[in-house]
Chains A and B, each alone.
Chain A
Amino acid sequence: MSIIKTQYNRRSFLQVSAASGGGLLLGFNWLTSCTSSQMADVPKEWFDINAFIKIGDNGSVTIYSPNPEIGQNVKTAMPLIVAEELDVDWKNVTVEQADLNTVKYERQLAGGSQSIRHGWNGLRMAGATARRMLMEAAAKRWQVSIDELTTTNGVVIHEAKGNKLNYGELAFDAATVAVPEEVELKDAKDFKLIGQKIKNVDGKKITNGTPLFGLDYKKEGMLIAMVVHPPAFGLKLKSLDDSKAKAMSGIKDVLLINTAPKEKQWSDTNAFPDLVAVVGESTWQVMKAKKALTIEWEEDTPLENSEDHERKMNEALLSKEGNVARQDGNTANAFKKAAKVIESVYSGPFLAHNTMEPMNFFADVKADKAELAGPIQTPEFLRKSTADLLGLSEDNISIQMTRMGGGFGRRLYGHFGLEATVISQKMQTPVKLIYAREDDMTQGTYRPATKIKYRAALDDNNNLIGFEAKGTGVPGSPLFPNRFPAGAVDNYTAESVKIDTNISTGAWRAPRSNFTAGVEQSFLDEVAEAAGKDPIDFRLELFDRAISNPVGEKNDYDPERYAGVLKLIKEKSNWGADTPGVFRGVSAYYCHNSYVAQIVDLVLENGKPKLKKVWCAVDCGIVVNKEGALNQIEGGIIDGIGHAMYSAMSIKDGKPEAHNFDKYRLIRHKEAPLEIETFFVENGIDPTGLGEPSLPPVIGALANALYQALGKRFYTQPFVDQV
């Protein structure tokens, strides 16, 4: 059992309610939110134990999930960690989404697959501290030493005297116990909940149509708003004739709004701060009024084209100018004395996020305060920019986090929240802003378009003696200079070139890795082939080098864990035992603190590839919720395959060319792999996240399997027109 000082992260969870009146939530109106069948089990009183835990006098437990839920299922996993240390029966736990509260919680953000990794210690302490306080309350009641007490499933037990009290009976006393200075945490071998397959806490509500999402949010007197942004990057409003629209039924007003905060944060990325807003009573009326607007646009900055981006990226890869981010040994010399040189250029397009729930937000702005609600991955940042725009203190702005119909990085950028805020302020009424799909898809914030040129040098013995990666992109390079194979090659260069653009870009699920992993792993397949080596053995040789005698000091990975997932997938997939008609490709990647190796098995049906099975090995340390983990991994695999195969956004005269799902292709049922099987490395290391890591490598495994099946390499995403 480990002992942990509770002062650590104190601010984040030790908001013991003694400070606010003993934690007794009298008059809490719980009954109104329950159906009659549940009423018998409803507690009469609730006691706040800390910021995460509330216990009812009947033993019911409410655990608050601090972080935004975008489908990564932290709303199940984070409370599960609390419940484990609290030692309660999961059946008695109700999970509630916390609002934004930076006093009680830290890092209420969905991004970078970091919620579980960052939350782990604090969540465990929240549960363990509460358990300790309940035990102290029992020890006092029974006049015994706390050392004589144990707990199980929400009950404190004094074995010697046969005394038992459930947490509900102790909650009143526990809420006034001083917070312990240190607490014991469970040994991993004693986990009852962590590592199990636990169902999504919102599973029932999702399948019966309960309002959960931002788009479902309603408030009395609320109007609907939609915005019109310029149809092209580089255009701005020249003139607006709104007379027809204003005369239409249900339309309240047409506004010109500016939503740029004075102090811009990274999360305020937005190509279009100046907008036309239409406000009305119902969505359909507003949609129709938008079409009745006559708007002229004029050029503000040059209108760009995908062809120009392509040319500029190719020029950048040829140019002598670049920012060398890492140099080991003498790469030029290595290439001079090489027996074989392999060189390839890989390309990826802009991608839209295309969350199924389009951007939306609710705002109710008053003179002295503002209430916001909606889907946002960065509520803390949104509140800061809202305060800036309104000239209000952040204390007077509340943000309720609704469940999100997808995030993928899109909802890191909260301009839509600011738009709702400005519209509500001008209209002096509660407003829900809704984007139509076309508004959403053409707004920008795209994954950058990128290219990497790789070169590899092999000596006479087919050893990799030199490796060069030169990356560029509109606007930035996707390279990670200190990732594998850095550290495994004596002579290594990573170089980047930037290209300016007026297209807005942003983080898209597994930023940069979502391109770099796939193409690096495709290229290593080419190099292994040129070296006459099995692609897994070739990689394992490199990891051996990185383990035994690493090059450089700043290598961003643990080569043993990296090799570990490759070895696991090699064994589980029976790699090397060929099945006639099945074509296999392998890849491995480390990003967002988790290690993943994958093998794609595909067959040809009438000459067309069909994905039979994806094998996946994952090292994310301790698996918190196995069901959620498997689901994330499967989703990431399908997302990666889908975008590599089918998706792209092109730009013509500044205009995004796809506006909706008729032109923008996303993977669908028939194109998904028939089966996905995942294996976890069991090592007891503290957990890391899974929202992103399974996506990037599968693109390489797919391209490598396609090469085996079709005999050609896949250099340009998407692949669909090349198969």
Chain B
Amino acid sequence: MASYTISVNGKSQQVNVDSDTPLLWVLRDTLDLVGTKFGCGIAQCGACTVHLDGDAIRSCSFPVSAIGEKKVTTIEGLSASNDHPLQQAWQEHDVPQCGYCQAGQIMNAASLLNKNPHPSDDEIANAMHGNICRCGTYVRIKAAIKSAAEKNS
């Protein structure tokens, strides 16, 4: 066990966990932030996607000891009141079916739009390729990202 102070959604949090504990389990088990999902544990499905200084990372394979001073943002902290353009677009396009992968999809898409505010269809498909949706909502995910991107001036 070791003590780490990490910044999560703008709040400084002290956690006592094993140094190899993936960020995912610190979020879910220690900090009660369960919006970030466990899917595969080997960075293959994207359900656990969060931001580290705005970049999408797979929290299931990212040890807490490697966070350092960088800022973690989870789905719970993506916007103040669930009003990020992507969250709104996800609801407008009624994207989710089971909904389990969608927090990871949104976080990955948010990181894409941070870097590339007006992605082409191919750029969206490439950027989102690491996030599996088992229900098959890909067509709606793409439409929602395009809608949100249109709102970027």
Q: Report A74 CB to chain B, min CB distance, Å.
A: 11
Contacts of B14 in A (CB 8 A): none
State whether the Cβ of A660 lies closer than 8 Å to any Cβ in chain B.
yes
Interface residues of B in 17-66 (CB under 8 A from A): 17-18, 20-22, 25, 28-30, 32-42, 44-45, 47
State whether the Cβ of A609 lies closer than 8 Å to any Cβ in chain B.
no
Contacts of A70 in B (CB 8 A): 98
Q: Report B17 CB to chain A, min CB distance, Å.
A: 7
Determine which of B17, B33, B99, B141 lies in contact with A284 in the assembled complex, contact meaning CB atoms within 8 Å.
B17
Contacts of B139 in A (CB 8 A): 634, 638, 672-676
State whether the Cβ of B8 lies closer than 8 Å to any Cβ in chain A.
no
Contacts of A639 in B (CB 8 A): 134-136
On whether A284 and B25 interact (CB within 8 A), knowing A208-B76, A209-B34, the answer reads: yes
Beta-carbon contact of A660 and B76 below 8 Å: no
Beta-carbon contact of B97 and A208 below 8 Å: no
In the complex, the chain A residue whose C-beta lies closest to that of B99 is A206
In the complex, the chain B residue whose C-beta lies closest to that of A76 is B94
State whether the Cβ of A582 lies closer than 8 Å to any Cβ in chain B.
no
Beta-carbon contact of B129 and A206 below 8 Å: no
Q: Report A334 CB to chain B, min CB distance, Å.
A: 41
How big is chain B's contact interface, by range?
35 or more
Beta-carbon contact of B87 and A207 below 8 Å: yes
Beta-carbon contact of A282 and B30 below 8 Å: yes
State whether the Cβ of A704 lies closer than 8 Å to any Cβ in chain B.
no
A209–B110 Cα distance when bound, in Å, is 15
Q: Report B58 CB to chain A, min CB distance, Å.
A: 12
Beta-carbon contact of B90 and A203 below 8 Å: yes
Contacts of B142 in A (CB 8 A): 669
In the complex, the chain B residue whose C-beta lies closest to that of A248 is B18
Q: Report B40 CB to chain A, min CB distance, Å.
A: 5
Determine which of A199, A249, A357, A436 lies in contact with B94 in the assembled complex, contact meaning CB atoms within 8 Å.
A199
Determine which of B18, B22, B132 lies in contact with A668 in the assembled complex, contact meaning CB atoms within 8 Å.
B132
Contacts of B96 in A (CB 8 A): 71, 200, 202-203, 206-207
Contacts of B91 in A (CB 8 A): 199, 203-204, 207
Q: Report B120 CB to chain A, min CB distance, Å.
A: 13
A213–B47 Cα distance when bound, in Å, is 13
On whether A660 and B101 interact (CB within 8 A), knowing A207-B87, A285-B18, the answer reads: no
On whether A284 and B97 interact (CB within 8 A), knowing A207-B82, A354-B134, A675-B139, the answer reads: no
Determine which of A282, A403, A667 lies in contact with B29 in the assembled complex, contact meaning CB atoms within 8 Å.
A282
State whether the Cβ of B111 lies closer than 8 Å to any Cβ in chain A.
no
Beta-carbon contact of B35 and A356 below 8 Å: no
Q: Which of B1, B38, B100, B136 has the most CB of A within 10 A?
A: B136
Q: Report A154 CB to chain B, min CB distance, Å.
A: 24
Contacts of B131 in A (CB 8 A): 668-669
A216–B128 Cα distance when bound, in Å, is 25
State whether the Cβ of A400 lies closer than 8 Å to any Cβ in chain B.
no
In the complex, the chain B residue whose C-beta lies closest to that of A202 is B99
State whether the Cβ of A670 lies closer than 8 Å to any Cβ in chain B.
yes
State whether the Cβ of B75 lies closer than 8 Å to any Cβ in chain A.
yes
A231–B103 Cα distance when bound, in Å, is 32
Beta-carbon contact of A204 and B18 below 8 Å: no
A668–B101 Cα distance when bound, in Å, is 13
State whether the Cβ of B137 lies closer than 8 Å to any Cβ in chain A.
yes
State whether the Cβ of B71 lies closer than 8 Å to any Cβ in chain A.
no
Q: Which of A628, A632, A672 has the most CB of B within 10 A?
A: A672
State whether the Cβ of A297 lies closer than 8 Å to any Cβ in chain B.
no
State whether the Cβ of A312 lies closer than 8 Å to any Cβ in chain B.
no
> Which 7 residue pairs spanning A and B have beta carbons closest together?
A209-B35, A405-B100, A638-B136, A71-B98, A206-B99, A209-B75, A672-B138
Q: List 10 A-B contacts (CB under 8 A).
A: A204-B82, A282-B21, A282-B30, A406-B98, A437-B42, A631-B140, A634-B139, A635-B136, A638-B136, A642-B136
Interface residues of B (CB under 8 A from A): 1, 17-18, 20-22, 25, 28-30, 32-42, 44-45, 47, 74-76, 82, 87, 90-91, 94, 96-103, 106, 121, 124-126, 128-142
